[in-house]
C-alpha cells in the first residue's frame, strides 16, 4: 500500500516548534545524570600524571579509610575483564589498535589515563578520597611532540575502513609540473574539543548479571554492544537509556573507558554508581579533533580549469589506537579534475585517542582545499566563485557515479545574491569601513550523505494517538520534532496525536546519531513503520464483513486524514480508533526496517553548500569580527525549516570558533592540554556572533532515499573556516594558514 491520498496540509516542511521544548525549558527533560536511582553512590577518578611508563606503586590506604568511601578500584584489585573482540568493529571505533583496557595492568599510555576509581556515598567524599590515593610512576619513553613523531602510513585496517593511505587518479605530479599556474601551500589546524555543555556521565546499575546504564551517548545500541563485549556478556544483558543529550558533536559516538569504569565501580561497590566527568576530565577522556597538517598543490590552466590536485594530510593519533580521518577525501570529488593524488599519514603520540568531531575529516580537508582554491583564484586573477563554477564536478569522479542530486550551482547563486557578492572589489585591502579593513570571502561546503539500516515501531492507541519508537538519539538537532512530523505526515494525523520516543535499547534498533545520517536513516524507518501500521489498519478495514469497506481489496484502502478511506472518490473515511474498537483491540502495533538498497551502486550522494562571509579586521589590534555570514545549502528535502535553520546557525557558530578561537594548547613536555577548561579553551559567545543568514535551495533527493532528505548537520560547519580565512586575506592581504586566526598572527 504505497499510494496515499495526497495530504493537502503536509506536516513535512512545516516550521514546527520543538515538541520537547517545554520539557527542556521546565527542566523536566531528564539527562543521563539526572535519573533518580535509590542508593546511588558517586565515583571520582584518579589519573596518571605522566605520559608514558608504568605505575611503580599505588597506595589506596588513606582513601579507603576516608569518610563515606565504599571502595577503591585500581589495577591491583580490579576484575580481569574479557574485552572480547567484536566480530565487526562499529564504524565509530578506530579500525586498528586496542581500546584502552581500564585497570588491567600498570602500563601508562597517556597523561590523564585513569589509574583508580573511588566510590563514596557523596561526590564530595569521593573526590576528597581520590585526592588521597598516592601513586608513584616509573616514567619512560614518552612520545608527545607532534613535530618530532615520524609520520606513519596507516595500517591495512584503515584502508579497509575507507581511509586509504593513498588514493587518486591519473598522474597528478606530472600534470602539476606542466601546469601553467600553480599554488603550493601548507595549512594546519590545532587539536580542537567538542566542548558540549552537558558533560559525559554514566549511571551504572547491576541487577544480578544484568546491567542498566543511563549514559550520555549518541548510540545506545552500540554502547550496549560494546559494554557487553568488554564484560563478556550477551548484548541483551545490557540496557542503555539515553533520552536526552545536551550536545555531543561526536564525543558520544564511541563508548569510552569511563562507561566501563562506572560498571566496574558499581559492581565493586554493590550499589548503583554515577560517574560524571569533570570539565577538565572531558579534555582527556572523550576524544577530540586531531591536530592536522595539510599540504596542497593545485595546478590550473590560465582559464582556471584544474589540471592537477595533490592533497597530503597528517593527523595525530594515540599509541594504542589508529584513529584515521577522511581529511583528503573532499579533494577526490569536490571538483572536476583528472589528475589527483592524495595521501594520509598519522603520528602516534602518548595521548588519549582522538575521535570524530563536528564534520570529522571533511571539515578539516575542506578548510585546506577551499583556502587553496582561493589562493589559486588570486594567482589566476579570477573571481573565486567563477573558479569554482569552472571546475564544477558534474559527477563524482572518485566513485565514477552521477550524483543522486546536486544543487551546488544554485547554492552559489543564492548565497552570492543574498550576500551582494557582485559589489566586492577584488583587490586585497581595497574595502574599508572607517579604520577597519573589510574582507569578503567564500567557500564551497560538501558533506557526504550516508544512510544506514534503521527500525521503528508505530503503535495506535484507542484514544487515537500513535506512539512511534526507535532507539535513536537527539543531541540537539530536533530528532523528536522532525520524526514526529514524518510520522504525522505519513499517517495523516495532526502532530499533537504523535508521540515519538527514542534513546533506549529496548526500542527497535537505530544506527549511530552521527555523520548527519539520522533523518535519512531513522526518518525512513519511521515512515515505513507508519505505513506498516496503515497497512494493518487497511486489512482490518477490508476484512470487516460489515463495515465501510467490506470486500474492498486492500490496495483500494488508503490512509486519509487520520483514518482509512477508499482510494477512489467519493471517500468514506473511518477513523483509526474506530477500527480498533470495531475489532476489540487495545492497541495495534507495526514494526518496520528501512535500509539502503542498490541506489548506492548507481549514485553518489552528498549535501552541498556555499558560504559567504564578511570580516572586519582592526589593523591596530589584529582582531577579526564576522559581522555577517550567508549560507545556502542543498540538503534535499527539509523536514522542518525551523530546526534545520537552527542546525545551520549552530554549525556556522562552530565554524567561526574553528576559524578564530578554538585551540587546545598541547604542551609536549607534559603530553597534556593546558587549557582544559571553558575559560581558556575559547568558543564563540553571543558577542562573537552577528548576522547569520541561512537559505535552503529547493530540492528533494528521492534517488538517495524515499524521504528525499540528504542529512543536515555537519554540512553547516563545513566551509565556514576557509570562507573566514579567505575573507581575512581579502581584508588584509595576509594569508594566515594556521588556525585559529588569532590577533597575534595578524600583528606579527
Q: 44-69 b/e with 16+ CB inside 10 Å = b?
A: bbbbbebbbbebeebebeebeebebb
Q: Closest approach of Cβ 479 to ligand MOS, in Å?
A: 13
- The C-alpha angle with vertex 376 and arms to 372 and 381, in degrees rounded to 5, equals 145
670 contacts: CB under 8 Å, gap ≥ 6: 51, 111, 144
Q: Among all chains, which residue has been given the C-alpha cell 513503520?
A: 529
Q: Among all chains, which residue has been given the C-alpha cell 545556502?
A: 632
Stretch of 177-185, 248-256, 392-400, 599-607 lying at the interface with ligand MOS (CB under 6 A): 248-256
Residue number with CB closer to ligand MOS (31 or 335): 31
503 binds ligand MOS (CB under 6 A): no
Residues composing the chain = 748
Set of cell numbers at residue 344: 594520509
Q: Closest approach of Cβ 72 to ligand MOS, in Å?
A: 34
**3 state DSSP class of 498:** strand
Sign of CA dihedral 140, 146, 149, 154: positive
Sign of CA dihedral 35, 41, 44, 45: negative
Applying CB under 6 A, among 514, 609, 631, 651 the residue interacting with ligand MOS is: 514
- The C-alpha angle with vertex 135 and arms to 131 and 139, in degrees rounded to 5, equals 135
358 binds ligand MOS (CB under 6 A): yes
Catalytic residues: 714
Binding mask 181-220 for ligand MOS (x = CB under 6 A): -------------------------------------x--
Q: Which of residues 386-425 bind ligand MOS (CB under 6 A)?
A: none
356 binds ligand MOS (CB under 6 A): yes
Binding mask 306-345 for ligand MOS (x = CB under 6 A): ----------------------------------------
Give, in order, the Cα–Cα distances in Å from 586 to each of 582, 662, 708.
11, 55, 35
360 binds ligand MOS (CB under 6 A): yes
357 binds ligand MOS (CB under 6 A): yes
Residue number with CB closer to ligand MOS (354 or 356): 356
What are the backbone dihedrals phi and psi of residue 694, each rounded to the nearest 5 degrees, phi first? -120, 130
Q: Closest approach of Cβ 363 to ligand MOS, in Å?
A: 9
**3 state DSSP class of 274:** strand
Sign of CA dihedral 539, 542, 544, 549: positive
Q: Which of residues 216-245 bind ligand MOS (CB under 6 A)?
A: 218
What are the backbone dihedrals phi and psi of residue 292, each rounded to the nearest 5 degrees, phi first? -140, 130
477 binds ligand MOS (CB under 6 A): no
Q: Closest approach of Cβ 277 to ligand MOS, in Å?
A: 18
Residues near ligand MOS (CB under 6 A), total: 10
Applying CB under 6 A, among 53, 290, 515, 711 the residue interacting with ligand MOS is: 515
**Using the 8-state DSSP alphabet, how is residue 423 labeled?**
G
Sign of CA dihedral 551, 557, 560, 563: positive
Q: 574-606 b/e with 16+ CB inside 10 Å = b?
A: bebbbbbeeeeeeebbbbbebebeeeeeebbbb
Stretch of 18-26, 351-359, 526-534, 724-732 lying at the interface with ligand MOS (CB under 6 A): 351-359
Q: Closest approach of Cβ 516 to ligand MOS, in Å?
A: 7
Distance separating alpha carbons of residues 92 and 450, to the nearest angstrom: 14
Distance separating alpha carbons of residues 348 and 671, to the nearest angstrom: 12
Set of cell numbers at residue 226: 560494546
Residue number with CB closer to ligand MOS (357 or 387): 357
Stretch of 138-146, 249-257, 531-539, 554-562 lying at the interface with ligand MOS (CB under 6 A): 249-257
Residue number with CB closer to ligand MOS (194 or 229): 194
Question: Residue 570 burial by CB count (10 A; 0-12/13-18/19+): exposed, middle or buried?
Answer: exposed
Q: Closest approach of Cβ 514 to ligand MOS, in Å?
A: 3
Q: Closest approach of Cβ 287 to ligand MOS, in Å?
A: 10
Residue number with CB closer to ligand MOS (253 or 731): 253
What are the backbone dihedrals phi and psi of residue 491, each rounded to the nearest 5 degrees, phi first? -85, -10
Applying CB under 6 A, among 112, 154, 243, 250 the residue interacting with ligand MOS is: 250
650 binds ligand MOS (CB under 6 A): no
Stretch of 247-255, 383-391, 636-644, 730-738 lying at the interface with ligand MOS (CB under 6 A): 247-255
Applying CB under 6 A, among 109, 213, 253, 558 the residue interacting with ligand MOS is: 253
Stretch of 207-215, 357-365, 500-508, 586-594 lying at the interface with ligand MOS (CB under 6 A): 357-365
Q: Closest approach of Cβ 250 to ligand MOS, in Å?
A: 3
Contact 162, 360 (CB under 8 A): no
HSE-CB of 411 using CA atoms within 13 angstroms: 30
Q: Pick from 631, 433, 718, 496: which is nearest to 19 by CA?
A: 496
Residue number with CB closer to ligand MOS (199 or 356): 356
Residue number with CB closer to ligand MOS (205 or 321): 321
Stretch of 19-27, 53-61, 246-254, 656-664 lying at the interface with ligand MOS (CB under 6 A): 246-254
Stretch of 314-322, 327-335, 350-358, 630-638 lying at the interface with ligand MOS (CB under 6 A): 350-358
Residue number with CB closer to ligand MOS (360 or 708): 360
Q: Pick from 511, 375, 410: which is nearest to 454 by CA?
A: 511
Q: Closest approach of Cβ 616 to ligand MOS, in Å?
A: 31
Residue number with CB closer to ligand MOS (195 or 438): 195
Residue number with CB closer to ligand MOS (114 or 252): 252
Stretch of 144-152, 316-324, 335-343, 354-362 lying at the interface with ligand MOS (CB under 6 A): 354-362
Q: Closest approach of Cβ 357 to ligand MOS, in Å?
A: 5
Q: Closest approach of Cβ 517 to ligand MOS, in Å?
A: 8
Strands (E), 13-161: 41-47, 53-59, 69-74, 96-97, 107-108, 114-120, 134-139
What are the backbone dihedrals phi and psi of residue 654, each rounded to the nearest 5 degrees, phi first? -65, -40
HSE-CB of 481 using CA atoms within 13 angstroms: 23
Instruction: List contacts with ligand MOS (CB under 6 A).
Output: 218, 249-250, 253, 356-358, 360, 514-515
Amino acid at each position: 500500500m504505497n499510494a496515499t491520498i495526497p495530504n493537502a496540509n503536509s506536516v513535512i516542511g512545516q516550521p514546527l516548534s520543538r515538541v520537547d521544548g517545554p520539557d527542556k525549558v521546565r527542566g523536566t527533560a531528564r539527562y543521563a545524570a539526572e535519573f533518580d536511582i535509590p542508593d546511588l553512590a558517586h565515583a571520582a577518578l584518579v589519573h596518571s600524571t605522566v605520559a608514558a611508563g608504568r605505575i611503580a606503586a599505588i597506595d589506596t590506604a588513606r582513601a579507603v579509610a576516608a569518610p563515606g568511601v565504599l571502595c577503591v578500584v585500581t589495577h591491583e584489585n580490579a576484575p580481569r575483564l574479557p574485552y572480547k573482540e567484536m566480530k565487526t568493529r562499529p564504524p565509530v571505533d578506530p579500525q586498528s589498535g586496542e581500546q584502552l583496557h581500564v585497570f588491567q595492568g600498570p602500563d601508562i599510555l597517556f597523561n590523564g589515563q585513569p589509574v583508580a576509581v573511588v566510590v563514596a556515598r557523596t561526590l564530595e567524599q569521593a573526590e576528597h578520597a581520590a585526592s588521597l590515593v598516592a601513586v608513584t610512576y616509573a616514567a619512560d619513553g614518552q612520545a608527545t611532540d607532534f613535530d618530532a613523531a615520524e609520520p606513519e602510513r596507516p595500517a591495512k585496517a584503515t584502508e579497509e575502513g575507507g581511509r586509504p593511505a593513498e588514493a587518486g587518479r591519473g598522474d597528478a605530479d606530472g600534470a602539476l609540473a606542466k601546469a601553467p599556474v600553480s599554488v603550493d601551500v601548507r595549512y594546519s589546524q590545532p587539536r580542537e574539543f567538542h566542548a558540549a555543555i552537558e558533560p559525559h556521565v554514566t549511571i551504572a546499575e547491576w541487577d544480578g548479571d544484568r546491567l542498566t546504564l543511563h549514559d550520555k551517548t549518541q548510540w545506545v545500541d552500540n554502547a550496549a554492544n560494546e559494554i557487553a563485549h568488554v564484560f563478556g556478556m550477551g548484548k541483551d544483558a545490557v540496557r542503555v537509556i539515553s533520552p536526552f543529550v545536551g550536545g555531543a558533536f561526536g564525543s558520544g559516538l564511541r563508548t569510552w573507558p569511563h562507561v566501563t569504569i562506572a560498571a566496574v565501580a558499581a559492581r565493586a561497590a554493590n550499589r548503583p554508581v554515577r560517574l560524571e566527568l569533570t570539565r577538565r576530565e572531558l579534555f582527556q577522556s572523550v576524544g577530540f579533533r586531531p591536530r592536522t597538517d595539510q599540504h596542497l598543490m593545485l595546478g590550473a590552466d590560465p582559464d582556471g580549469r584544474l589540471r592537477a590536485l595533490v592533497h597530503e594530510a597528517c593527523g595525530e593519533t594515540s599509541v594504542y589506537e589508529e584513529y584515521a580521518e577522511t581529511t583528503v577525501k573532499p579533494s577526490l570529488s569536490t571538483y572536476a579534475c583528472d589528475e589527483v593524488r592524495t595521501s594520509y599519514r598519522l603520528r602516534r603520540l602518548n595521548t588519549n585517542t582522538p575521535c570524530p568531531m563536528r564534520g570529522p575529516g571533511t571539515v578539516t580537508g575542506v578548510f585546506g582545499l577551499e583556502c587553496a582554491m582561493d589562493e589559486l583564484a588570486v594567482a589566476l586573477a579570477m573571481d573565486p566563485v567563477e573558479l569554482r563554477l569552472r571546475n564544477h564536478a558534474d559527477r563524482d569522479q572518485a566513485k565514477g557515479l552521477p550524483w543522486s542530486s546536486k544543487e551546488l550551482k544554485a547554492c552559489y547563486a543564492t548565497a552570492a545574491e543574498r550576500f551582494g557578492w557582485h559589489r566586492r572589489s577584488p583587490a586585497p585591502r581595497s574595502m574599508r569601513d572607517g579604520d577597519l579593513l573589510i574582507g569578503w570571502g567564500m567557500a564551497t561546503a560538501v558533506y557526504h550523505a550516508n544512510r544506514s539500516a534503521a527500525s521503528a515501531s508505530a503503535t495506535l492507541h484507542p484514544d487515537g494517538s500513535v506512539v512511534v519508537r526507535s532507539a535513536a538519539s537527539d543531541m540537539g538537532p530536533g530528532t523528536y520534532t522532525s520524526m514526529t512530523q514524518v510520522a504525522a505526515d505519513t499517517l495523516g494525523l495532526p502532530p499533537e496525536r504523535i508521540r515519538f520516543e527514542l534513546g533506549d535499547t529496548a526500542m527497535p534498533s537505530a544506527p549511530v546519531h552521527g555523520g548527519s545520517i539520522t533523518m535519512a536513516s531513522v526518518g525512513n524507518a519511521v515512515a515505513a513503520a507508519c505505513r506498516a501500521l496503515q497497512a494493518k489498519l487497511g486489512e482490518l478495514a477490508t476484512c470487516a464483513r460489515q463495515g465501510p469497506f467490506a470486500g474492498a481489496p486492500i490496495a483500494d484502502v488508503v490512509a486519509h486524514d487520520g483514518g482509512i478511506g477508499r482510494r477512489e472518490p467519493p471517500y468514506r473515511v473511518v477513523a483509526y480508533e474506530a477500527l480498533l474498537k470495531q475489532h476489540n483491540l487495545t492497541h495495534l502495533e507495526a514494526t518496520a526496517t528501512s535500509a539502503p538498497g542498490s541506489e548506492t551502486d548507481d549514485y553518489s550522494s552528498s549535501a552541498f553548500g556555499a558560504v559567504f562571509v564578511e570580516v572586519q579586521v582592526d589593523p591596530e589590534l589584529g582582531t577579526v569580527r564576522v559581522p555577517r555570514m550567508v549560507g545556502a545549502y542543498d540538503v534535499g528535502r527539509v523536514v522542518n525549516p525551523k530546526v534545520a535553520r537552527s542546525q545551520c546557525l549552530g554549525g556556522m557558530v562552530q565554524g567561526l570558533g574553528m576559524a578564530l578561537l578554538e585551540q587546545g594548547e598541547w604542551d609536549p613536555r607534559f603530553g597534556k592540554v593546558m587549557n582544559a577548561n571553558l575559560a581558556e579553551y575559547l568558543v564563540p559567545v553571543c558577542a562573537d556572533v552577528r548576522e547569520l543568514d541561512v537559505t535552503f535551495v529547493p530540492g528533494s533527493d528521492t534517488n538517495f532515499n524515499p524521504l528525499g532528505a540528504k542529512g543536515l548537520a555537519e554540512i553547516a560547519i563545513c566551509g565556514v573556516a576557509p570562507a573566514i580565512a579567505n575573507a581575512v586575506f581579502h581584508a588584509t592581504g595576509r594569508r594566515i594558514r594556521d588556525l585559529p586566526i588569532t590577533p597575534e598572527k595578524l600583528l606579527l
